[in-house]
Structure 1
């Protein structure tokens, strides 16, 4: 009889909730079993995106993870001004921390969609990012991704 494999218990990390000055949450960042999820809501700005990206970076440094589900399906607002900072400041740090894939769920807001498309152009191929209109398709794609291939691509880009 083969010995039973015992897996270490993993305690779920408390969600990180970032709020506007008036107290409304604009993003909840939480470690899931196979990825980290950033679930956005309400009206967001470039400053909100930078604050959330910094919080995500702190989390991924503590709990390494190769995959991010970035769900902005419930937001409005133009956050395109954050893309320079995301490309030049955030990207090298999250790559070093181990991030390899972002599945981004589009907002219905045209400005948010344009910002997401521009970000994808800026960070590819170093980080594999794909945009989706439907959350479950984003999650399916994210779960199918191969970490070994992404690490090799990040090293050569």
Structure 2
């Protein structure tokens, strides 16, 4: 199942696809992300989880532009096992080409260190290979 999420201007900022063979959710973040986009995207993740009950995420930031660390306080709360309806255990995160996106995910990774295993990759094939072992 594929979903395309658009912002108020009608531009696609997130593509989601559940992979039934690997039992993970693929997220492709596109362009600049603000807190509203991230909140809207996470609502879609929860909707997909209720339908498919996955515990692994392949998070692709190769098309992401700029930082998104302003959402990290909110994400830290929303992705904690005590607050989220989703029991995400493993995230293979393909980093963005820009330094600001990379710094944003490194900050989030440190915040969720004892809650979710997030491994960073520059190559999507390596990210997929790692996630298949989980």
**TM-score over 0.5 for the pair:** yes
RMSD: 1.4
Q: 1:113 aligns with which of 99, 102, 107?
A: 102
Matches within 5 A, 1:29-48: 29-33=16-20, 34=22, 35-48=24-37
Number of residue equivalences: 131
Matches within 5 A, 1:5-154: 13=1, 15-33=2-20, 34=22, 35-92=24-81, 93-94=83-84, 96-145=85-134
Deviation of 1:71 (Å): 0.2
CA distance in 2, matches of 1:51, 1:118: 21
Question: TM-score if structure 1 supplies the norm length?
Answer: 0.77
- Please list every run of 5 or more consecutive structure 2 residues that lacks an aligned counterpart in the other structure: none
- Which structure's relative contact order is higher, taking Cα pairs within 8 Å and 6+ residues apart? 2
- Please list every run of 5 or more consecutive structure 1 residues that lacks an aligned counterpart in the other structure: 1-12, 146-157
Question: Is residue 72–residue 106 contact of structure 1 (8 Å, CA) maintained in 2?
Answer: yes
Question: Is residue 68–residue 101 contact of structure 1 (8 Å, CA) maintained in 2?
Answer: yes
Which runs of 4 or more aligned residues in structure 1 lie more than 4 Å from their structure 2 counterparts after TM superposition? none
Question: TM-score if structure 2 supplies the norm length?
Answer: 0.89
